[in-house]
Chains A and B, each alone.
Chain A
Amino acid sequence: MDLKLKIWRQKNANDKGKMVDYPISNVSPDMSFLEMLDVLNNELIEKGESPVSFDHDCREGICGSCSLYINGEAHGPDRLITSCQLHMRTFKDGETIVIEPWRAKAFPVIKDLVVDRSAFDRIQHAGGFISVNTSGNTIDANTIPIEKADADDAFMAATCIGCGACVASCKNSSAMLFVGAKVSQFALLPQGQVEATDRVLNMVKQMDEEGFGNCTNTGACEVECPKGISLENIARMNREYLSASFKG
């Protein structure tokens, strides 16, 4: 396949940055999207140009680092996958592919396609944890009976990999799907009850301070999320937040 790539290049956080055209040929349809970028980078290095920086680690849809906005969608046009799971056969020969970093004030660009997602870490630090005794007397979690439906929903929420596709896709750069998932995974379990009130208040406070937008319930996040995290998690977070606010 021959393709025309349009890629965001930005030397560092302070550089203005611009879109640059890169034609690429002999791309195998069986390559993953990141392998295609590897091929491009090899060519750039051979030509003595600086390679395109992009985040990646596991390359199997687990780590959530491959944050690429491809042809106007987070992780490209396919559903329930990350960029590393996207194959070149999704595209047509001769197609133009636009590749940009996540765009959000709370996710500043570090270089090229790499953004700083430490805002998510700070939200997690604000309340995304439970207190358990880990000094050798740890009680097996399975000794507490949990209703199947709740356990399933909690597990579903816990599959969030913190990739930030929800923020990138949202017209408001809202982080509510991520925070909704991180609140829900504990709100549904007995182990999460001890910190429940503070957790949701503190995490939402941190989310707002980081400069993420407000949810308009467009549902774009749910569609683009590689793990299929549903909007029900945002509704649950809203319930948790409102009842926690009234508790004081």
Chain B
Amino acid sequence: MSGILNSSIGRKFAMALSALFLMVFLLQHFSINILSVLAPDTFNDVSHFMGTFWVIQYLLQPVLILGVIFHFVMGFVLEIKNNKARTISYAKNNGAANSSWMSRNMIWSGLAILGFMLLHFYDFWVPEINIKFIEGDMSGLIDPNNADSGYRYLEHLQHKFVDGWRVALYVISFVFLALHLLHGFNSAFQSIGANNKYTKGLVGFSKVYAIGIPLGFIFIALYHFFNH
């Protein structure tokens, strides 16, 4: 067991575990976001719960942040190591003949997601932390001094999707997310050694997930853009 991260297979295993964790998180994130379209009041209630329940705030959120950091740092480590394994490149290489564009460009789709996450943290996480822990307002209300003002979460979200440029950036990022997942979903299962009689079924499901979830996020972003 010692030093498993020092071996190629160990690193890939850890990479896959962090990726599987992120994919579960993404599903949960989507489930809550879609409520902002389907049931806005429930969206506010759930957001308040997520933002104030200590298990989520102080346990799951740090785990998630560490998971994301681990994933992209390991992504960089693998990319650097893999580039070092071929010092002279081919004069002519026909990668498209044997592999998908997505599989050969995980680092680029990943970097696009990383760029998006910086914007996304600036949009939502930083203001949240500011209101709750700097200003000390844990009420979740639009006006903390007025209990009837209602929760602020949906309003905040709608404000963010007024700017067309921001919406465009979100949409493009979700396209890269789809590209990342179109290869990544099955790749993660292969990495943990799960290539078996269920793989065929999984390939079908992975397409639904990899296209469906980002498409859903795109729908939510456009919905709020056109309905404010």
Q: Which of B4, B13, B86 is most buried by chain A, counting CB atoms within 10 A of its CB?
A: B86
Chain A CB within 8 A of B104 CB: yes
Q: A217-B190, A237-B9 are in contact. Are A104 and B195 (CB under 8 A)?
A: no
Chain B CB within 8 A of A205 CB: yes
Once the chains bind, are A208 and B8 in contact (CB under 8 Å)? yes
Selected contact of B91 from candidates A100, A169, A218, CB within 8 Å: A100
Chain B CB within 8 A of A103 CB: yes
Docked Cα-Cα span, A69 to B90, in Å, equals 9
From 72 to 88 in chain B, residues with beta carbon under 8 angstroms from any chain A beta carbon are 78, 81-82, 84-88
Docked Cα-Cα span, A204 to B106, in Å, equals 24
Contacts of A105 in B (CB 8 A): 84-87
Selected contact of B186 from candidates A72, A173, A217, CB within 8 Å: A217
Once the chains bind, are B187 and A216 in contact (CB under 8 Å)? yes
Q: A231-B190, A234-B190, A238-B13 are in contact. Are A213 and B94 (CB under 8 A)?
A: no
From 203 to 218 in chain A, residues with beta carbon under 8 angstroms from any chain B beta carbon are 204-205, 207-208, 211-218
Docked Cα-Cα span, A77 to B84, in Å, equals 26
Once the chains bind, are B94 and A72 in contact (CB under 8 Å)? yes
Interface range on chain A: under 10, 10 to 19, 20 to 34, or 35 or more?
35 or more
Contacts of B94 in A (CB 8 A): 71-73, 77
Contacts of A246 in B (CB 8 A): 1
Interface range on chain B: under 10, 10 to 19, 20 to 34, or 35 or more?
35 or more
Once the chains bind, are A220 and B193 in contact (CB under 8 Å)? no
Chain B CB within 8 A of A19 CB: yes
Once the chains bind, are B13 and A204 in contact (CB under 8 Å)? no
Chain B CB within 8 A of A59 CB: no
Selected contact of B95 from candidates A6, A211, A220, CB within 8 Å: A220
0 or 1 for each of B38-52: is its CB under 8 Å from A? (1 = yes): 000000000000000
Once the chains bind, are A217 and B187 in contact (CB under 8 Å)? yes
Chain B CB within 8 A of A232 CB: yes
- How distant is B120 from chain A, measured CB to nearest CB, in Å? 26
Chain B CB within 8 A of A145 CB: no
Once the chains bind, are A245 and B92 in contact (CB under 8 Å)? no
From 187 to 203 in chain B, residues with beta carbon under 8 angstroms from any chain A beta carbon are 187, 190-196
Q: A172-B85, A216-B82, A235-B194 are in contact. Are A241 and B9 (CB under 8 A)?
A: yes
Docked Cα-Cα span, A100 to B94, in Å, equals 13
Selected contact of B195 from candidates A173, A205, A231, CB within 8 Å: A231
From 159 to 182 in chain A, residues with beta carbon under 8 angstroms from any chain B beta carbon are 169, 171-174, 176
Beta-carbon nearest neighbor of B89 in chain A: A103
Chain A CB within 8 A of B145 CB: no
Docked Cα-Cα span, A73 to B91, in Å, equals 11
Selected contact of A216 from candidates B10, B13, B84, B103, CB within 8 Å: B103
Q: A171-B95, A220-B98, A238-B191 are in contact. Are A215 and B12 (CB under 8 A)?
A: yes
Subset of 11 A-B contacts with CB under 8 Å: A98-B92, A100-B91, A100-B92, A212-B85, A216-B103, A216-B187, A217-B183, A218-B103, A218-B104, A232-B195, A242-B13
B residues neighboring A (CB under 8 Å): 1, 4, 7-13, 78, 81-82, 84-95, 97-100, 103-104, 106, 183, 186-187, 190-196
Task: Kindly list 7 other residue pairs between chains A and B, CB separation below 8 angstroms, not including A176-B8, A217-B187, A235-B194.
Answer: A103-B89, A174-B8, A205-B7, A213-B84, A217-B103, A218-B183, A238-B9
